[in-house]
C-alpha cells in the first residue's frame, strides 16, 4: 500500500527553524517527483516546493531562500527544512507524490500524507 506519513511539526517562534519529514512506503521516493503543499488554518491549499527524481528542486516565491526540500534515499524519506519562519508560515504541511507527464512536467498530486501542523508564534 502506498502511504506517506509526515512528522516534525510543532510550535516554533518567529525566526526559528524546523525540519519536516515525510516517510514513504509502498514506492520509492527517489524514483518519483515529490511535493510539499500547505494549508493555513481555515484557508485553501498552496503548493510550496517540488523535488524531481533528477534532484532538481523548485519553490514557491513564499518559500524561496528560506525553505529547502531534500530526500534521503536510504530512508525513503522526504524533508522540508524551514528557516526564518514567519507567522504566515503557520499551516498544515502535506507531502504528496507528484505525478509527471510524458514531458517530465509535474501535474497532479496523489497520494497525500495526513499532514503535520506548524505553528509560528511567540
Partner 1 sequence: DIQMTQSPSSLSASVRDRVTITCRASQNINNYLSWYQQKPGKAPKLLIYAASSLQSGVPSRFSGSGSGTDFTLTISSLQPEDFATYYCQQSYSTPRRTFGGGTKVEIK
Q: Give me the least distance between CB of 46 and partner 1, in Å please.
A: 7
List residues near partner 1 by CB under 8 A. 44-47, 50, 58, 60, 94, 99, 105-115
Q: Give me the least distance between CB of 112 and partner 1, in Å please.
A: 4
- Give whole-number Cα distances, 55 to 47, 50, 69, 110, in Å: 18, 10, 10, 19
- Give whole-number Cα distances, 25 to 2, 60, 113, in Å: 6, 27, 11
Nearer to partner 1, 47 or 67 (CB): 47
Nearer to partner 1, 30 or 58 (CB): 58
Asked whether 20 and 80 are in contact (CB, 8 A), the reply is: yes
Q: Give me the least distance between CB of 108 and partner 1, in Å please.
A: 4
Amino acid at each position: 500500500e502506498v502511504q506517506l506519513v509526515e512528522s516534525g511539526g510543532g510550535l516554533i517562534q518567529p525566526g526559528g527553524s524546523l525540519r519536516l519529514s515525510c516517510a514513504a512506503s509502498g514506492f520509492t521516493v527517489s524514483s518519483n517527483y515529490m511535493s510539499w503543499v500547505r494549508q493555513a488554518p481555515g484557508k485553501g491549499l498552496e503548493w510550496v516546493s517540488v523535488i524531481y527524481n533528477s534532484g532538481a528542486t523548485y519553490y514557491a516565491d513564499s518559500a524561496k531562500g528560506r525553505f529547502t526540500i531534500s530526500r534521503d534515499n536510504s530512508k525513503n524519506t522526504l524533508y522540508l527544512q524551514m528557516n526564518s519562519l514567519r507567522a504566515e508560515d503557520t499551516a498544515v504541511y502535506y507531502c504528496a507524490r507528484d505525478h509527471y507527464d510524458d514531458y517530465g512536467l509535474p501535474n497532479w498530486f496523489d497520494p497525500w500524507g495526513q499532514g503535520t501542523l506548524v505553528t509560528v508564534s511567540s
